[in-house]
Amino acid sequence: MKVLLLVKNFDLGGTEVHVRELANGLAEAGHRVFVMSRSGRQVESLNAEVTFIQHRFTNFGLLGAVSKVMKLIRSEKIEIIHGHQRLPILISAIVKILTGISSVATIHGRISLDSRPAFMRRWIDRMIVVAPNRLSTLSERDVIREKCCVIYNGLALEDRGASRDKIQGLNLLYASRLDRRHGQALIIILKKVWPSLLHQFPNAKLHIAGDGNRLVEVKKAAKPFTEASEESVVFHGFVPSLVPLFKETSLTLGVGRVAIESLALGIPVIPVNSAYWAPVISRENYKILKADNFVGRPFYEFEPEPLLAELQRVLGELDEIYRETQNLSEEVYQDFSLAKMVDLIEEVYQELVD
């Protein structure tokens, strides 16, 4: 099968990693895969069998993008077009109407945001959501409900390694694209949470992985901790894989794919972004958070004081929480298997082309 994956950016973030892993997984399964996107650091991690086509998707360049995609479909005899992120999904819908090609969209965020304008949802053949709670915004009569299916993110963790008997040191990790939302969360944490936490746990370190348009502001907020004699905040910039950092991590602060990878490696996670946070993930709340892609929406709105209290509790009980997360890790790894994700998406494709 010949598949064209469209994604606006291919640099940082969970969506970009998802597309990279899907492209590689489909290629390994014997499909001919094309990825069209703005160039970014994910390109070098694509399998050699995957064809990357550089294109800068913009609102003003919509017609040009539609034309370019249609030419590619005709020349390469593409059978499936699969859009990720709002603009590529819109282009997939338009191309579907103009050519009749089978079209798929994956919604990584909210349906109302990723599939705008709303009328074009009728033009998509199937919509994949990465967590079932994404469907809660749809009314029972919504015409697209019957087109939707849930397929969780898949992980390619080749080296999970042996578990540690106990946590060594207090290394916290916040890994994300440092955009408006995550940048704001980090700035608040650095100003209103980290000083108090450091007072109680003076040997703790906060490791920040990722970059983006709020990096300068985040570094400015971190100055008191990066210029001290004992550096307590460490910036790692973009890292192609978080696994080496996870091996030294005591506690991860993150949502979505970062939370999933951390849990699968047995590292405790407190879900947090600028809007929501949740208590440390445990067997008791795992299924609730899994249903919302490990965003803290079912729990609390983001406020620094209760988050600080939870961090103090977790760090004080870290060895016990670590052992519980280790016991949960195999279930997480199986729930978010890359092979399972690729198989389920292949089934969606096959249903449409048959």
- 174 and 254 Cβ atoms separated by less than 8 Å: yes
Q: What is the pLDDT of residue 227?
A: 83
Q: Dump pLDDT digits (tens) for 8-59.
A: 999 888 899 999 999 999 999 999 999 999 999 999 999 999 999 999 999 9
Position 346 confidence tier, pLDDT thresholds 50, 70, 90: very high
Residue recorded with tokens 């999904």: 89
> Is the CB of residue 10 less than 8 Å from the CB of residue 39?
yes
- Count of other CB atoms within 10 angstroms of residue 195: 13
Count other C-beta atoms under 10 Å from residue 64's C-beta: 13
Max CA pair span of the chain:
65
3-state secondary structure labels for all residues of 209-264: ECCCCCHHHHHHHHHHHHCCCCCCEEEEECCCCCHHHHCCCCEEECCHHHHHHHHH
Strand partners, 52: 35
Q: How confident is the model at residue 297, as a pLDDT?
A: 87
pLDDT at 354: 87
Helices 304-316 & 318-335 angle (0-180, nearest 10): 100
Q: Higher-confidence residue: 110 or 126?
A: 126
pLDDT at position 159 over 80: no
Q: What is the pLDDT of residue 110?
A: 80
Span of 27-36, 138-147, 315-324 with lowest mean pLDDT: 138-147
The answer to whether residue 164 scores a pLDDT higher than 70 is no
pTM of this structure: 0.90
Q: pLDDT: is 165 or 189 the higher one?
A: 189
CB 246 within 8 A of CB 261: yes
CB atoms within 10 A of CB 240: 11
2-154+337-353 topology per CATH: Rossmann fold (3.40.50)
The whole-number pLDDT of residue 158 equals 63
Write down the domain spans for the chain: 2-154+337-353, 171-335
Tell me how far apart the alpha carbons of residues 267 and 91 are, in angstroms, rounded to a whole number. 39
- Burial-class residue 219 by CB neighbours within 10 Å (0-12, 13-18, 19+): middle
Rg (CA), the chain: 21
Amino acid at 200: Q
Handedness of CA 18, 21, 27, 28 (dihedral sign): negative
The pLDDT tens digits of the residues spanning 212-238 come to 999 999 999 999 999 877 799 999 998
- Write down the pLDDT at residue 163: 54
Q: Binning pLDDT at 50, 70 and 90, where does residue 298 land?
A: confident
Percent of the chain with pLDDT over 90: 78
pLDDT digits (tens, 9 = 90+) for 81-117: 999 999 999 999 999 999 999 999 999 888 777 777 7
The one-letter amino acid code at 337 reads S
Averaged confidence pLDDT in the chain = 92
Convert 134-172 to b/e letters by CB count within 10 Å (16 or more is b).
Answer: bbeebeeeeebeebbeebbbbbbbeeeeeeeeebeebbb
Say yes or no to pLDDT of 166 above 80.
Answer: no
What are the b/e assignments for 67-85, b being 16+ CB within 10 Å?
A: eebbebbeeeebbbbbbbb
Answer whether residue 167 shows pLDDT above 60: no
Question: What is 171-335's CATH number?
Answer: 3.40.50.2000
